[in-house]
Amino acid sequence: MEIKELKIGNIIIPCNVLMAPLAGYTCYPFRILCSELGAGLCYTEMVNCNSLRYKDKATQKLLFTTAEEKVKATQLVGSDPRIMEKMARSNYFEEFDIIDINMGCPVPNLFKSGQGSALLGDLKKASSIIKGCKKSGKIITVKIRVGIREDKMISAEVAKMCEDSGADMITIHGRSRNMMYSGTPYFDQIEQAKSVVRIPVIANGGIFSVPDAEKMMNLTGADGVMIARYALENPFIFSELTHKEIQKNKYTIISEQIDLTSKHYDETFTLSYIKRLVSFCMRTEKGTKKYKQELYKSGNISELEYIIRKIFYKEREID
């Protein structure tokens, strides 16, 4: 695919391959890793505006960042335009350049309370949210799906609404809410949305290889792609797509993730994040399934490092 800079509002990001927000994974260390490997922009996971409003500590922790992160992008999820605006304008986001609004999450408890993809069924409210958040002075992006159900897909209408309400970029997950996370994305829906707006349109969904990214770009005419689950399995997808030379392997990057996470988070968080990341990364490592139980059992960092060495370092004879 053609790699190019992308202008979002008044910010230029170095390339049009983006890392998606992923709850439970896109913490600060993972975002640093993806940027290093070539991702042009990485979002935090979704931050619930109600939890933030009540000063929930775990939610605040999702916003941890440092000066190492050049462009800082986060995502808000919520349904009340006044609260969304209040939070977007709050000090919590002082350091952030970009706030994305989640209009794609299909999870039942969020959907039932009018958040995430439920906003696709109330475009008036969705528009008020964008307009309100825009008052923060931040760059506002919106992540949508092609519709709630496959028999009523509305991506062009939603894209136009986002642009008219002041959004600076849209990411479209090419699946409907009912499809959750499986099935072929509706490339034509992304293409239609792209044809009615001037702001950048990023295509997301079902990219699990370099050819998948190329196909997505060719069939949609999008300005860039956003990778989600596959980046957990193979973070090198960013260097593969951007042709960035990286002299590291999975063992090196996981070891560095342990160091960086331990530096900024407590041991409980580090253990749980690294175990989840490794269980994705080891999917492509043949003959390692048998180590999964041992991975999950490891109770401290040295036990974790020992099993990770067995999984990735090809020295499995140390058993």
Ligand X SMILES: Cc1cc2nc3c(=O)[nH]c(=O)nc-3n(C[C@H](O)[C@H](O)[C@H](O)COP(=O)(O)O)c2cc1C
Site string for ligand X, 180-219 (x = CB under 6 A): -x----------------------xxxx------------
> Minimum distance between the CB of residue 226 and ligand X, rounded to whole angstroms?
7
How many residues form the binding site for ligand X (CB under 6 A)?
Answer: 22
Complex with ligand X: residue 178 or 255, whichever CB lies closer: 178
Under rule CB under 6 A, residue 18 binds ligand X: no
Q: How far is CA 67 from CA 22, 208, 318, in A?
A: 22, 31, 40
- Residues 126 and 174: their CA atoms lie apart, in Å, by 19
* Chain residue at closest Cβ approach to ligand X: 228
> Minimum distance between the CB of residue 254 and ligand X, rounded to whole angstroms?
19
With CB under 6 A as the contact rule, the residue among 21, 40, 200, 224 that binds ligand X is 21
Identity of the residue numbered 76:
L
Complex with ligand X: residue 23 or 219, whichever CB lies closer: 23
Under rule CB under 6 A, residue 78 binds ligand X: no
With CB under 6 A as the contact rule, the residue among 75, 79, 115, 288 that binds ligand X is 75
Q: How far is CA 197 from CA 76, 78, 214, in A?
A: 23, 25, 22
Asked whether the beta carbons of 227 and 200 are under 8 A apart, the reply is no
With CB under 6 A as the contact rule, the residue among 13, 15, 41, 45 that binds ligand X is 45
Cα dihedral 273/36/141/83 (nearest 10): 40
- Residues 150 and 117: their CA atoms lie apart, in Å, by 13
> Minimum distance between the CB of residue 14 and ligand X, rounded to whole angstroms?
21
Asked whether the beta carbons of 208 and 172 are under 8 A apart, the reply is no
Query: What is the Cα gyration radius of the chain?
Result: 19
Under rule CB under 6 A, residue 170 binds ligand X: no
Half-sphere exposure of 138 (CA within 13 A, CB side): 30
- Residues 117 and 147: their CA atoms lie apart, in Å, by 8
Closest CA to 170 of 149, 148, 193: 193
With CB under 6 A as the contact rule, the residue among 215, 229, 275, 292 that binds ligand X is 229
Is 34 annotated in the active site?
no
- Residues 257 and 175: their CA atoms lie apart, in Å, by 31
Complex with ligand X: residue 212 or 305, whichever CB lies closer: 212
Under rule CB under 6 A, residue 38 binds ligand X: no
Q: Which of 105, 133, 162, 281 is catalytic?
A: 105
Complex with ligand X: residue 177 or 310, whichever CB lies closer: 177
- Give the residue numbers marked as catalytic: 105
Residues forming contacts to ligand X in the complex (CB under 6 A) are 20-24, 45-46, 75, 102, 104-105, 143, 173, 181, 204-207, 227-230
